[in-house]
């Protein structure tokens, strides 16, 4: 498995994977999220490839204070093979190299299945509520 930075040329494969992994929502165009992360100076998106096919993604960025991880996804056919862990390690290393000392992520309340995965990788319940507001 090869992990590398993604580019706009990967958009179709990325969006397809995100749909399959249940990470997209109708009100949040995934193409826009991807392009903003690819264009930004403080963010990137990594992809995992098996036989040159995109089978995993992780989006990572830092806001000057903390690092954030988004859009972790592994193709259903490749789950349980260690790819999710590898993608998380690459994202964490990217943040460390930029001086970040803490990383956090958000899990949708309905996505309980993934909590065990994050627990296993050392991500603790931060015991905070996240509030959000649309700016557009
Ligand atoms: C979450 C996800 C990325 C995990 O990917 P994966 O490639 O199957 O995970 P890995 O094979 O790398 O698993 C890493 C470790 O976590 C463990 N693990 C995986 N899922 C687990 C779970 N639900 N509960 C407990 N442990 C789990 C594995 O046993 C493995 O342990 P080990 O490395 O000590 O042997 C994948 O299930 C996925 O794409 N889910 C749908 C998208 C999603 O919900 N993303 C998160 C959004 S917040």
Residue ranges and CATH numbers for the domains of the chain are 2-120 (3.40.630.30)
Please tell me the predicted confidence (pLDDT) of residue 42: 98
Q: Which ligand 1 atom is nearest residue 116's CA?
A: 24
Look at the pTM and tell me if it is higher than 0.85: yes
Q: Is the Cβ atom of 79 under 6 angstroms away from ligand 1?
A: yes
Q: Is the Cβ atom of 50 under 6 angstroms away from ligand 1?
A: no
Counting every residue written for the chain, the total comes to: 136
Centre of ligand 1 from the C-alpha of residue 136, in Å: 34
In this model, does residue 86 exceed pLDDT 90? yes
pLDDT digit string (tens) for 33-77?
999 999 999 999 999 999 999 999 999 999 999 999 999 999 999
Please tell me the predicted confidence (pLDDT) of residue 1: 86
Cα Rg of the chain, angstroms? 14
DSSP H helices in the chain: 11-20, 30-39, 83-97, 115-120
């Amino acid at each position: 498995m090869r992990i590398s930075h993604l580019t706009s040329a990967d958009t179709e494969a990325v969006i397809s994977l995100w749909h399959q992994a249940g990470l997209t929502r109708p009100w949040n165009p995934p193409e826009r999220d991807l392009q903003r992360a690819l264009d930004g100076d403080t963010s990137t998106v990594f992809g995992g490839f098996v036989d040159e096919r995109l089978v995993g993604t992780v989006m990572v960025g830092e806001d000057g204070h903390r690092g954030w991880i988004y859009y972790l996804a592994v193709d259903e056919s490749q789950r349980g093979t260690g790819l999710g862990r590898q993608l998380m390690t690459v994202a964490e290393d990217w943040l460390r190299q930029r001086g970040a000392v803490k990383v956090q992520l958000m899990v949708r309340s309905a996505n309980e299945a993934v909590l065990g995965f994050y627990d296993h990788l050392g991500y603790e319940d931060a015991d905070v509520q996240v509030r959000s507001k649309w700016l557009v």
